Structures are given as C-alpha cells and as structure tokens.
Structure 1
Amino acid sequence: MFDTLTLKTDARGVATLTLNRPDKHNAMSAQMLEDLTQAAVTLGADDTVRVVVLTGAGPSFCAGGDLGWMRAQMSMDAQTRTAEARKLATMLDALNTLPKPLIGALQGNAFGGGVGLACVCDVAIAAGSARFGLTETRLGLIPATIGPYVIARMGEGRARRVFMSGRIFDAAEAVDLGILARAVPAAELEEAVDREVKPYLSCAPGAVAAAKKLARDLGPRIDAALIDHTIAALAERWDGAEAVEGIDAFFAKRKPAWTV
C-alpha cells in the first residue's frame, strides 16, 4: 500500500504504522512524507481503527529529514522549495489532527523531524537507550515546520534548552522536557505501549475524537497562518549559504566552516 511504510491492524482495531526505511534510519524522504500524510487520512476515515501506534523499523525511530531530499532543494526555485516544505508541514498537521489516539513507540533514536513526529503523538514512549536531538542548526537549518508541535509539547522555556543548540540528549532528559511520557527498557517497550493502548478500547471512539479535537482547540494555536509561517522559514533557510555549507559538509564527512 505504501512504499516507505508498513501498516497492520489487529483484531482489536489497533493499527501499527511503521516507518520502513531502516537502511536510511527512517529519514523522511518526499515519498515518506506523502505516504505518512495519506496514511493519516486513511486511518482517520477508517471506523474499524480505534488506536494508531507509530513506530520505526530497524535501530532508529527517525533520523529526521532525508538530507538527499534537502540537498536537492538548494538548486530549486523558491516556489518549488516552498512546495516541498509544505509536504513536511502537511504531514505533521495530518498526524497532529488525526481523530484517533496516536501513540509513539520510539524503539530507537529520534533526531530533527523525528522529534517532531514524537511531539505530534498524543503519548510517546521510548526505549531508555534512545537518543534525541533537534540537530537542524548543525546543518545550517532550523526546526521550522516541526516547531509549533515541539513548542506545544515542551513549552517555550523547556524547548529553548535544546531548540537551537543541536545538543544530543538521552531519554531521561526527553521525559523531563516533555517529549516523552516515559522511557522504559527496550525489552519492555511493547508491553508499555500496549498498556497505553488498552484504556482507549473501553472508550467511545466518537467521544475520544471529540475530546482530542477539544484539547487541540484549547491548546496553543497551530493554524494555517502559523503553518505557512514555518513553511516560509524553512524554505528561506534552504536558500541560505549556511544550509549549503552544512549539508555539503555532511556529505563530505567534514566539519562545517563554523565548527570550532
């Protein structure tokens, strides 16, 4: 059904959506962005689905945006860059507004956009060995389209501890920052996620969807104007010299010019 994802639904109505580019550490390509958006639409419209679990195949949950995809934006015109940035923003909005509980099961590391995926989940649980980081500024980029969801989850004060530094932090700090509900030993992750899922199976699905929508309505504003602002901010960074240098340095396996 999808090129970059697998989707399985059990007899209880629990759908497991798995990022499936393990050889690329589940970095999000243009195709994965489109697949995730379509999966969110499909799952949202499926009355047999009660809960969605988002996880990844292989050792990493999600390494963020595919740098090959990002590098390609450097040679595009402004209109194309904006359209590509919108794919990422559209995917995040689709998952954030999914009218089903979305439980993140982070079996491995989450960087950049991977942290954004954790923050659009209603609850995220990770293996205690997982590492995290908003690493965009290391590449001359910024956590733009994920920003509203990161700030909504963490609050501005806590987010500013890691939003700009690109610092890598452990699962315990991710819990303290509010990205994760909790971290558990890797061998206990499946059981912990199942415990999170089970209460929803005793709830009225329509009431769950309405309660989730109300929570979003009462929470920080993430509307079309704000999403457009983040799209423009990302497209602008793609057009800058720092992004060119940062991504070129990554592929050349060298330090970027600003590193001391």
Structure 2
Amino acid sequence: MNTIRIETDARGVATLTLARPDKHNAISAEMMSELAAAAESLGMDSTVRVVVLAGEGASFCAGGDLTWMQEQFAASRKQREKEGRRLARTFGAFNDLPKPLIARVHGAAYGGGLGLVSVCDMVVAAEEARFGFTETRLGLIPATISPYVIARMGEGRARQVFMSSRIFGPAEAVALGLVGRVVPAPDLDAAIEAEVAPYLGVAPEAVAASKALARSLGPVIDDAVIDDTIRRLADTWEGAEAQEGVGAFLERRKPSWKA
C-alpha cells in the first residue's frame, strides 16, 4: 500500500497509519481504496484485537486531497457521485469495523479527517490538535461525513461547528463529543496504550457483538441516507459557490464572499 501502513504487534494491536505526511495525510482516491481494503482485512483478521488509527508527520488528516479535488472540479455529475459514494463507503466500513477503533489525533483534523475521527470508538487528542469542518470555505458541504458526524455529536452540538468552518481546539472537541480524552503531546502514546489495555482482557467476539449492538441502537445510516448525502453533495458541486470557492482555493486567492 502506498498511502497507509499497517503494523500489528504480538498482542494483536494493529496500528493503521495514514502515510502521506508531505500532504498532511489528505485523503486521495488511492487512500480511499486502500483504507476500504484495510477495513475489510482488519475486520476479518481474528488475530487483531484492537485497531489504532494514527497519522504520520505533522497532521492527523487535513481533509480532501488537492489533486482529487481538482478532478472533482472538472468531473461529470455521475463521476462525482461515484467518488462521493466511495468515500462514504470507506467511512462506513470503519464505522462498522468489528474491532475497537481508537484514534490517535495530533495536528490538524479537518474535513474528511473529522469523518475518520467520528467513526472511531475512542478518540485521544494531543493538546495542540486542531479541528474544523472546513468545507463551507470552498462553497461545499460536509456531506459524505455527515451521517457519521451527526451520529457522533448529535444534531444540536454539530450545528455549533458544522457550517462555520471555524477552527477549534481539543477542549471544545471534548465538549462537542468528538474527542474523549486530551493529553500533552509527549503523553499521547501512553494514553493510547491505556485505552488499548482493557481490550486485551475481554472476549473479542463479545466486544464485536457489543459494538454492533450499540451501532444498531444509534441513528440509521443505510443506503438511502448515504444516497441522499451524495445527491446533496453533487448538487452543491454544480452550484456557483463551489465553482468560485474551489477555483479560488486552487488559484490561491480569496473567494468573492470573503471580506
């Protein structure tokens, strides 16, 4: 794999690392495919007890990849819907992963990075981490991540940060329900180990069944929900604001609505 790395220790703790540090681990088309394959592989591997999701370099995940965004800017509606559905299915695969999934967050977690955060069972963040739903800066909407974000945060809390593209810190992320624990950056690995340890003493199948139970009692995220988010995203891509916002981003200028 070119964009991610998986290492599993003797205890059955698998660390899945986003490995595009030069791009702040932005989600590319290739990364989507590799993440989906990883979710399937890890889910089927009986030797894996816990999965830790981390990012290499300065950021956890800064959102969508620039090249992928450029491709969507010029793509047909059919192609945009196909790509949006692929991204949504990737998030869904991790949301339904039959293993405990713990996020190790540092640096930036923006846009799609918050989608990854939202499908984790526990999120531990460094004090210097920063979060933001940044899609509206580009005239877009956080569509593909929205079912998982709303399931994680609840509608009321999500609306505080979902539309403004405001960047916020880990303390607010805890209050909003995105993050479970915040620690100084040097203590991040120890904090992850503390979250991993309990799972090494419990029955793996019971853990998987308990997670599936919790998920079944949460908001419904089925094909109809995903299809609706994809339609809304495709509609937005076709609008004048997306053309202006993405164009301004690619041209490194202010969009027309920014003071």
* Superposition TM-score tier, normalisation by shorter sequence: over 0.9
| 1:195 correspondence with 2:194 | yes
Identity of aligned residues (%): 62
The residue aligned with 2:249 is 250
Q: Secondary structure at the match of 1:183?
A: strand
Question: How big is the shift at 1:107?
Answer: 2.1
- Whole-Å Cα distance in 1 between the matches of residues 20 and 240 of structure 2? 29
The residue aligned with 1:76 is 75
The residue aligned with 1:179 is 178
The residue aligned with 1:85 is 84
- Whole-Å Cα distance in 2 between the matches of residues 235 and 23 of structure 1? 29
- Whole-Å Cα distance in 1 between the matches of residues 84 and 14 of structure 2? 28
Question: How big is the shift at 1:103?
Answer: 0.2
Aligned length: 259
Q: Partner letter of residue 218 of structure 2? A: G
Asked whether the equivalents of residues 138 and 245 of structure 2 are also in contact (C-alpha less than 8 Å), the reply is: yes
Q: Partner letter of residue 10 of structure 1? A: D
Q: Which whole-Å deviations, capped at 9, do the CAs of 1:17-76 have from their partners, x for residues lacking one?
A: 000001000000000011100000000000000000000000100001113212211222
Moved over 3 A (4+): none
Question: How big is the shift at 1:200?
Answer: 0.6
Q: How does 1:111-150 map to 2 (within 5 A)?
A: 111-150=110-149
Structure 2: give runs of 5+ residues left out of the alignment: none
Asked whether the equivalents of residues 126 and 180 of structure 1 are also in contact (C-alpha less than 8 Å), the reply is: yes
Q: Which whole-Å deviations, capped at 9, do the CAs of 1:62-109 have from their partners, x for residues lacking one?
A: 001113212211222221111111111010000000000000001221
| 1:168 correspondence with 2:167 | yes
| 1:57 correspondence with 2:60 | no
Structure 1: give runs of 5+ residues left out of the alignment: none
Q: Secondary structure at the match of 2:60?
A: strand
Q: Which whole-Å deviations, capped at 9, do the CAs of 1:128-153 have from their partners, x for residues lacking one?
A: 10110000000011010100111111
- Whole-Å Cα distance in 2 between the matches of residues 109 and 122 of structure 1? 19
- Whole-Å Cα distance in 2 between the matches of residues 106 and 5 of structure 1? 16
Q: Partner letter of residue 237 of structure 2? A: W
- Whole-Å Cα distance in 1 between the matches of residues 113 and 5 of structure 2? 17
